[in-house]
Amino acid sequence: MAGFFSLLRRLYLTAYNFTLLVGWFQVLYIVLRTLKESGHENIYRAAEKPLLFAQTAAVLEILHGLVGLVRSPVTATLPQIGSRLFLVWGILWSFPETRTHVLVTSLLISWSITEIIRYFFFGLKEAFGYTPSWLLWLRYSTFLVLYPTGISSEVGLIYIALPFIKASEKYCLRMPNKWNFSFDYFYAAIVVLGIYVPGSPHLYSYMLAQRKKALSKSKKE
């Protein structure tokens, strides 16, 4: 019975990882094609559907961690997915004025390349129990460039969106109300920007340490 479940788990995770791999491939392909054919202003409109699908489906990864399907700790996946969902739904989808900015291009290229490598890596691992060493190298090296480009794009887009957030009053809760609570999306967005300041170097140095561990371990084998 246990063998059956472990096989089921492997099948499910393989299917999950390859589905998302295809999704992000679509995003990258559409971005590059649109860039060539028209211009960076149309990138979001063209890539919106696969982007919303691929990035939102990643919420399942939190579930996978919670129920123990995968080993990744929830504390690591939650902030990562949180920031992605915030950018996709909380900034780009909610404030169309930001969609034509050139940073959307750098954002989607950084994200899609990273995710393609990541999902391919995990898909192979679940399906065959093995990943080629060049893929391991890619997984633990591309972040060196893609994290700075991705993070800069995220921070830039949040900053660009600020005046639109303030003017629209979207997602704000004002007093007075029965529960004596208030929420200001503008100030919340500023707090998120603030979190990037200590958060980014922390994340980057964590990945550097992971890189050292993963690449030295593979050398020993």
Q: Please report whether residue 178 would count as binding another protein according to CB under 8 A.
A: yes
Q: Nearer to another protein by C-beta: 176 or 198? A: 176
The DSSP element (H or E) to which 87 belongs, if any, is none
Q: Are 92 and 18 in contact (CB under 8 A)?
A: no
Name residues contacting another protein, limited to 136-175 (CB under 8 A). Answer: 175
Q: Nearer to another protein by C-beta: 8 or 66? A: 66
Residues 6+ apart with CB under 8 A from 143: 114, 204, 207, 211
Cα–Cα distance, 40 to 35 (Å, whole number)? 6
Q: Please report whether residue 179 would count as binding another protein according to CB under 8 A.
A: yes
Name residues contacting another protein, limited to 73-102 (CB under 8 A). Answer: none
- Among residues 61, 115, 126, 154, which one is catalytic? 154
- Among residues 41, 48, 147, 204, which one is catalytic? 147
Q: Nearer to another protein by C-beta: 162 or 207? A: 162
Is-catalytic flag, 154?
yes
Least separation in angstroms between residue 178's CB and another protein is: 6
Cα–Cα distance, 92 to 157 (Å, whole number)? 8
Cα–Cα distance, 220 to 59 (Å, whole number)? 35
DSSP letters for 115-139: HHHHHHHHHHHHHHS---HHHHHHH
Q: Please report whether residue 181 would count as binding another protein according to CB under 8 A.
A: yes
Outline where DSSP puts E strands in the chain. none
Kindly tell me which residue out of 3, 5, 68, 180 binds another protein, with binding defined by CB under 8 A: 180
The number of residues that bind another protein (CB under 8 A) is 8
Q: List residues binding another protein (CB under 8 A).
A: 175-182
Q: Annotated active-site positions, please?
A: 147, 154
